[in-house]
Structure 1
């Protein structure tokens, strides 16, 4: 009996997004923004490093890497889910940022956008109930 090994192969699938990397001009300002303003945990590097990694409070969350170099903006956006969009919007306003006002989207999320120190667009969202 001949056994065909190829018939048992599984289709390759992506399991999860491990990390996203942003190029940043000012590592100190970027680390301070993501750590101190957004409350992310610094996993590696820091204000004086050329490469840093941060993560949201959820240990299953993808890692955000910051790499020293020429910044590239208008590439797309990074979307964070937050517990309460309006509370997070108020938090950023109190920290001196001027994000657009929160709004409800036709696809079922409440969200707003703000730019990080290098002009990367960030979205803060929560599914509507």
Structure 2
């Protein structure tokens, strides 16, 4: 049997703050999840995303320490170039840290990066043209 990619897991220090960030990006996460130590949401296409508190991770891995840097990022497709700017401004306006302001990338996308409450890089992108 071949393993099948099924879930992206994020470790968070504040579940409610993290889930609020991802709700702003359109993920459907019930409000009662804010107080849970582990939360999952199924994305279109069936891939799942999960959040675990640092306490949950340390319950089975006491030596766990937060990673440094942005080794992995999550990328959210926007409907168009203007939507990249609008989404970036809304997230930064809500107090989240902008990492790369929107720009026209040489690879043909409007592109920006915002950091979630735990410093995970979240890319926002859209094709520059409909071609």
- Larger Rg over CA atoms: 1
User: Would the aligned equivalents of 1:54 and 1:64 in 2 still touch at CA under 8 Å?
Assistant: yes
The runs of 5 or more residues in structure 2 that have no matched partner are 55-64
The aligned length equals 113
Aligned mates of 1:26, 1:13 — CA distance in 2? 31
User: Would the aligned equivalents of 1:25 and 1:71 in 2 still touch at CA under 8 Å?
Assistant: no
User: Would the aligned equivalents of 1:85 and 1:124 in 2 still touch at CA under 8 Å?
Assistant: yes
Shift of 1:94: 3.0
Shift of 1:38: 2.2
Aligned mates of 2:66, 2:20 — CA distance in 1? 17
Provide the alpha-carbon RMSD of the alignment. Answer: 2.6
| Deviation per residue, 1:92-127 (Å, 9 max, x gap) | 233233423201112221110111011101110112
The runs of 5 or more residues in structure 1 that have no matched partner are 1-11
Q: Does 1:103 align with 2:109?
A: no
| Deviation per residue, 1:6-53 (Å, 9 max, x gap) | xxxxxx797xx5321111111121112212x2231117x711111112
Partner residue, 1:66: 51
SS in 2 for 1:79: strand
Aligned mates of 1:95, 1:88 — CA distance in 2? 11
Aligned mates of 1:61, 1:91 — CA distance in 2? 27
The structure carrying a bigger helix percent of its residues is 2
Distance 1:122 1:28, change over 3 A: same
| Deviation per residue, 1:40-86 (Å, 9 max, x gap) | 1117x711111112355xx2263221111254342221111111211
